[in-house]
C-alpha cells in the first residue's frame, strides 16, 4: 500500500484538536477514500502541558512552528494558528519554501497575502488548500473551484459569520410573531452570545464585519479569477442595528442579515459587507442561528445555494480533513482555480456608485414641517420615497418620534449626501440610520 500522507499540525486549539480526533476516529474511512491514509508526524502549540483531550505522545513535538514547517518529516503542514501576520505567515511561507503544501483555516492570512502565497506555492510546485477558511463545513471552495468550474460567475454572496447571524436571529426571534416578547437590542443579545460561547470576549472582528470581509475577499478571487483585494472591500458591521429596526423590518415583511456580496458590474468588481434588508420568503432569509449560507450565480447553472454550520471544531475539522484527503489523492489544483500568473487585477467599483433601495430610520421632533423638510432633502437629492411609516404621535408636540422611510433605488452617493443634510436639520435628534435593501 502507498505510504500515508504525512502531516505536521501547527496549532492545537479547538480546530487543531478536533482535526486530530477526526483523523483518529475515522482513520479507516479516510484511508479507503484517499487510497493511502493520513498520518500525523509532528505537532506544535504554545503549551505542551495543556490537556486537549487527545493523545499527543506518538507525535514529535515542536515549540516553534516555523522550525516544524522546515524540519518535520511531513509532506503537508496544517496551519491552524490564525492571524494575518507574524507566526502564521512565517510558518506558511517556510512550509511552501520547502515545497510542502499547506492546509489552512486562516481566512485573514489569505485575505491579506493570498495572491503572494499562491505565487510562492506555484513556484515551489505545491499548493494551499483552504476549504476550512470560508464557511466552516460548507464545501464552498470546492463548489466554486471545481463544481462550477465551467461557469462564468457573476455574483457570489452570503451569510459568512455565524456570530452575527445568531445575534440578528435572536433579535428577530424576540421581536417577531404574535407570542414573542419585546425585541432585544444588540448589546443585550451580544452579551448572551458571549455567555453561550457563540461570540468572543472581544467580538470586534465578527460584529464589525471584518471576519465576513476576509472570507468575501477570498471568494471574490476564486469566483472571478482576480487577485485577492481585501482593501477594496466596503465593510460595515451590525452594531447600529437596533430593536426598532428589527421590529420595523418584521412589520414591512423583511428580516435583517449581515451579507457579504461580490459581483461584477461592467467589468469592475464590487465587494461589500453590510447589514441588508432581505425580503421574507427568499431562501437566504430562512438561514438562522449560527448557520452560514453562500449563494453563487453562474451563467449556465443559474443560482446555487450552499448552507451549513460555519464554525466549530467539528465542521471546521471536517473541511481540513477533506483537503488532506484531496492532497493524499494527488489532487493539487491552483490555489484560486487558475494559475497565479493569470489572476487579473480588475478595477474596483467604489461603494458610492452602488445603487439600491434603502430603509431609513430617523428620530425627529414631532412638530409641523419636519416631514416636509425631510421630503425636500430627498427631493433635492433626486431620491424617490416608496413609503413612510410613523406610528402614532409623541405625547406632546416637540417630543421625539421615529420615522421610517423606504426609498426607491438610488445611488449610494446621493443617499449619503441626503443623510448628511437630514442629520443637520434642527429637528433631527440623532444620526439617521440606513440599511440597504437587496433584491435577492
Kindly state whether residue 212 falls inside one of the protein's structural domains.
yes
Q: Residue 301 pairs with which residues in a beta bridge?
A: none
- Over residues 2-16, the mean pLDDT reads 93
Average pLDDT in the chain: 92
Is 367 a catalytic site residue? no
Q: Are 78 and 18 in the same domain?
A: yes
* CB distance 291 to 310 below 8 Å: yes
First-to-last CA distance in the chain? 50
> Structural domain tally of the chain?
3
Q: What is the pLDDT of residue 398?
A: 64
pLDDT of 405 higher than 90: yes
Express each pLDDT in 150-162 by its tens digit: 999 999 999 999 9
Confidence band of 396 (pLDDT split at 50, 70, 90): low
The CATH number linked to 123 is 3.40.50.720
Q: Are 125 and 146 in the same domain?
A: no
Q: What is the pLDDT of residue 338?
A: 94
Q: What is the pLDDT of residue 311?
A: 82
Confidence band of 47 (pLDDT split at 50, 70, 90): confident
Q: Are 218 and 72 in the same domain?
A: no
Kindly state whether residue 45 falls inside one of the protein's structural domains.
yes
Kindly state whether residue 323 falls inside one of the protein's structural domains.
no
Express each pLDDT in 179-195 by its tens digit: 455 668 899 899 988 88
Q: What is the DSSP letter of 393?
A: -
Confidence band of 367 (pLDDT split at 50, 70, 90): confident
Kindly state whether residue 392 falls inside one of the protein's structural domains.
yes
Q: What is the pLDDT of residue 181?
A: 55
Give every CB contact of residue 151 below 8 A, 6+ residues apart in sequence. Answer: 298, 299, 300, 301
Kindly state whether residue 9 falls inside one of the protein's structural domains.
yes
Kindly state whether residue 211 falls inside one of the protein's structural domains.
yes
> Is 0.75 topped by the overall pTM?
yes
Express each pLDDT in 301-349 by its tens digit: 999 999 999 888 889 999 999 999 999 999 989 999 999 999 999 999 9
Q: Are 117 and 260 in the same domain?
A: no
**Domain end call among 309, 341, 371:** 309
Q: Are 127 and 145 in the same domain?
A: no
Please give the distance of CA 151 from its chain centroid, rounded to a whole number: 23
- Over residues 418-422, the mean pLDDT reads 97
Q: Which of 107, 142, 215, 257 is catalytic?
A: 215
pLDDT of 177 higher than 50: no
Q: Are 161 and 242 in the same domain?
A: yes
Q: Are 26 and 106 in the same domain?
A: yes
SS3 332: coil
Q: Are 107 and 176 in the same domain?
A: no
- Over residues 390-419, the mean pLDDT reads 85
Q: Are 252 and 396 in the same domain?
A: no
* Other CB atoms within 10 A of residue 24 CB: 12
Q: What is the pLDDT of residue 355?
A: 95
Phi, psi of 215 (to 5 degrees): -65, -40
Q: Are 249 and 370 in the same domain?
A: no
Q: Give me the domain span that covers residue 26.
A: 5-133
The CATH number linked to 398 is 3.30.70.260
CA nearest neighbour of 110 among 143, 87, 84: 84
**Domain end call among 309, 337, 363:** 309
The CATH number linked to 255 is 3.30.360.10
Q: What percent of the chain has pLDDT over 90?
A: 82
Kindly state whether residue 327 falls inside one of the protein's structural domains.
no
Express each pLDDT in 369-387 by its tens digit: 999 999 999 999 999 999 9
Q: Are 382 and 295 in the same domain?
A: no
- Over residues 199-219, the mean pLDDT reads 94
Half-sphere exposure of 276 (CA within 13 A, CB side): 25
Confidence band of 394 (pLDDT split at 50, 70, 90): low
**Between the CA atoms of 422, 425, 431 and 432, what dihedral angle is there, to the nearest 10 degrees?**
-30
Q: Residue 52 pairs with which residues in a beta bridge?
A: none
Please give the distance of CA 57 from its chain centroid, rounded to a whole number: 36
Q: What percent of the chain has pLDDT over 70?
A: 96
pLDDT of 175 higher than 70: no
pLDDT of 101 higher than 80: yes
Kindly state whether residue 324 falls inside one of the protein's structural domains.
no
Q: What is the pLDDT of residue 397?
A: 60
Q: Residue 305 pairs with which residues in a beta bridge?
A: 295
Amino acid at each position: 500500500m502507498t505510504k500515508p500522507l504525512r502531516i505536521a499540525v501547527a496549532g492545537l486549539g479547538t480546530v487543531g484538536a478536533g482535526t486530530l480526533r477526526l483523523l483518529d476516529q475515522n482513520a479507516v474511512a479516510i484511508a479507503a477514500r484517499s487510497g493511502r491514509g493520513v498520518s500525523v508526524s509532528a505537532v506544535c502549540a504554545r503549551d505542551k502541558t495543556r490537556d486537549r483531550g487527545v493523545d499527543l505522545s506518538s507525535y514529535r513535538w515542536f515549540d516553534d512552528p516555523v522550525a516544524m514547517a522546515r524540519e518535520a518529516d511531513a509532506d503537508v503542514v496544517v496551519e491552524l494558528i490564525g492571524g494575518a501576520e507574524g507566526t502564521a505567515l512565517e510558518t506558511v511561507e517556510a512550509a511552501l519554501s520547502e515545497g510542502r503544501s499547506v492546509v489552512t483555516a486562516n481566512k485573514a492570512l489569505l485575505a491579506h497575502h493570498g495572491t503572494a502565497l499562491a505565487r510562492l506555492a506555484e513556484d515551489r510546485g505545491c499548493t494551499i488548500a483552504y476549504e476550512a477558511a470560508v464557511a466552516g463545513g460548507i464545501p464552498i471552495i470546492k463548489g466554486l473551484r471545481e463544481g462550477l468550474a465551467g461557469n462564468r460567475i457573476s455574483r457570489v454572496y452570503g451569510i459568512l459569520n455565524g456570530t452575527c447571524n445568531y445575534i440578528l436571529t435572536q433579535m428577530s426571534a424576540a421581536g417577531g410573531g404574535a407570542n414573542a416578547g419585546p425585541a432585544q437590542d444588540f448589546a443585550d443579545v451580544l452579551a448572551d452570545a458571549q455567555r453561550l460561547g457563540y461570540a468572543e470576549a472581544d467580538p470586534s472582528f465578527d460584529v464589525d464585519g471584518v471576519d465576513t470581509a476576509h472570507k468575501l475577499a477570498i471568494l471574490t478571487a476564486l469566483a472571478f479569477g482576480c487577485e485577492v483585494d481585501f482593501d477594496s472591500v466596503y465593510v460595515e458591521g451590525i452594531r447600529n442595528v437596533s430593536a426598532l429596526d428589527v421590529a420595523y423590518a418584521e412589520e414591512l415583511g423583511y428580516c435583517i442579515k449581515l451579507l457579504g456580496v461580490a459581483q461584477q458590474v461592467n467589468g469592475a468588481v464590487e465587494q461589500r459587507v453590510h447589514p441588508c434588508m432581505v425580503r421574507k420568503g427568499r431562501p437566504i432569509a430562512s438561514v438562522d442561528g449560527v448557520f452560514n449560507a453562500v449563494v453563487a450565480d453562474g451563467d449556465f447553472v443559474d443560482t446555487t445555494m450552499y448552507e451549513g454550520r460555519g464554525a466549530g471544531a467539528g465542521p471546521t475539522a471536517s473541511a481540513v480533513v477533506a483537503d488532506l484527503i484531496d492532497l493524499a489523492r494527488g489532487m493539487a489544483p491552483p490555489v484560486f482555480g487558475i494559475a497565479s500568473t493569470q489572476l487579473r487585477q480588475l478595477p474596483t467599483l467604489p461603494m458610492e456608485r452602488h445603487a439600491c433601495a434603502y430603509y431609513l430610520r430617523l428620530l425627529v421632533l414631532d412638530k409641523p414641517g419636519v416631514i416636509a423638510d425631510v421630503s425636500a432633502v430627498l427631493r433635492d437629492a433626486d431620491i424617490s420615497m416608496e413609503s413612510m411609516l410613523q406610528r402614532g404621535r409623541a405625547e406632546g408636540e416637540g417630543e421625539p418620534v421615529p420615522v421610517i422611510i423606504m426609498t426607491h433605488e438610488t445611488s449610494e452617493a446621493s443617499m449619503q449626501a441626503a443623510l448628511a443634510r437630514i442629520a443637520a436639520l434642527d429637528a433631527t435628534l440623532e444620526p439617521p440610520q440606513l440599511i440597504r435593501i437587496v433584491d435577492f
